[in-house]
């Protein structure tokens, strides 16, 4: 796009702004084209550095100044391109997941499920023992103590289950985040 074409399109896009603001903006853009020409760049290259005129007009309408807009464009251009994962990275992530992570998670889930089921059994046994002892009086004291012990053991087991599940989820999130970093950045 030539200088004239760019300035004409930009002027149309800035149409809702005041005349003095548009005049000042066009002056800034003309200076940019002039400086680019002194640096040996073509009008097309200078226009490409500015980007789409409608986006530039939107930035001006948002209250940005020319130096701020150019700094934003430079920062956007300076961002490194996203690397594609190498085959070694893919192999590493897949092998670690298959041979380490999945067996570890299945084992931990089995242990946690076993704890939860055991605690359900203990709690049910404690309630049954307390009800039985209450009904049949001869073993009332020892049965109540044993039932309460089982009940507190069940409560402790539930606390262990809760924290096991909580930290299992935290560890899973950490693992996924770590593998994402490896995937993006390589080994």
Chain segment 149-160, per-residue pLDDT in tens: 777 877 887 788
Q: Is the pLDDT of residue 130 over 60?
A: yes
Check residues 68 and 8 and name the one with the higher pLDDT.
8
pLDDT of residue 113: 83
Question: Average pLDDT in the 41-61 region?
Answer: 85
Considering the domain architecture, whether residues 41 and 73 belong to the same structural domain is answered as yes
Considering the domain architecture, whether residues 38 and 64 belong to the same structural domain is answered as yes
pLDDT digits (tens, 9 = 90+) for 110-129: 888 887 787 778 777 777 77
pLDDT of residue 132: 73
Considering the domain architecture, whether residues 68 and 103 belong to the same structural domain is answered as no
CA dihedral over 33, 39, 44, 48, signed as positive or negative: negative
Considering the domain architecture, whether residues 61 and 112 belong to the same structural domain is answered as no
Considering the domain architecture, whether residues 67 and 118 belong to the same structural domain is answered as no
pLDDT of residue 3: 87
Structure tokens of 81? 């391109």
Q: Give residue 174's domain range.
A: 87-185
Question: Average pLDDT in the 55-65 region?
Answer: 83
Considering the domain architecture, whether residues 133 and 178 belong to the same structural domain is answered as yes
pLDDT digits (tens, 9 = 90+) for 63-122: 878 778 778 777 776 666 556 777 888 888 888 888 888 888 888 888 888 877 877 787
72 within 8 A of 51, measured Cβ to Cβ: no
146 within 8 A of 160, measured Cβ to Cβ: no
| 3-class secondary structure, 27 | helix
Considering the domain architecture, whether residues 100 and 150 belong to the same structural domain is answered as yes
154 within 8 A of 119, measured Cβ to Cβ: yes
Task: Quote the CA–CA distance of 131 and 136 in Å, as a whole number.
Answer: 9
Considering the domain architecture, whether residues 124 and 151 belong to the same structural domain is answered as yes
Q: Which of 78, 107, 142 is the endpoint of a domain?
A: 78
At 51, phi and psi to the nearest 5? 85, -170
pLDDT of residue 119: 75
Question: Average pLDDT in the 37-49 region?
Answer: 87
Considering the domain architecture, whether residues 120 and 43 belong to the same structural domain is answered as no
Query: What average pLDDT is seen over the chain?
Result: 80
Q: Which of 78, 97, 130 is the endpoint of a domain?
A: 78
pLDDT of residue 77: 66
Considering the domain architecture, whether residues 47 and 122 belong to the same structural domain is answered as no
Query: From the CB of residue 25, how many other CB atoms can be counted at a distance below 10 Å?
Result: 20
Q: Domain count of the chain?
A: 2
Considering the domain architecture, whether residues 172 and 102 belong to the same structural domain is answered as yes
Considering the domain architecture, whether residues 49 and 102 belong to the same structural domain is answered as no
Q: Which of 78, 101, 135 is the endpoint of a domain?
A: 78
């Amino acid at each position: 796009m030539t200088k004239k074409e760019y300035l004409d399109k930009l002027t149309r896009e800035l149409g809702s702004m005041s005349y003095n603001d548009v005049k000042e903006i066009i002056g800034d853009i003309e200076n940019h084209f002039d400086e680019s020409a002194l640096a040996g760049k073509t009008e097309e290259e200078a226009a490409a550095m500015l980007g789409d005129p409608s986006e530039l007009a939107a930035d001006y309408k948002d209250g940005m100044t020319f130096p701020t807009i150019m700094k934003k464009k430079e920062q956007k251009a300076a961002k490194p391109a996203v690397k594609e994962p190498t085959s070694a990275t893919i192999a590493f992530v897949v092998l670690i997941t298959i041979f380490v992570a999945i067996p570890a998670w299945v084992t931990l889930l089995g242990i946690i499920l076993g704890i939860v089921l055991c605690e359900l059994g203990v709690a049910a046994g404690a309630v049954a023992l307390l009800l039985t002892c209450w009904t049949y009086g001869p073993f009332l004291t020892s049965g109540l103590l044993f039932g309460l012990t089982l009940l507190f053991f069940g409560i402790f087991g539930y606390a262990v289950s809760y924290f096991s599940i909580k930290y299992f989820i935290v560890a899973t999130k950490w693992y996924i985040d770590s593998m994402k970093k490896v995937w993006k950045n390589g080994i």
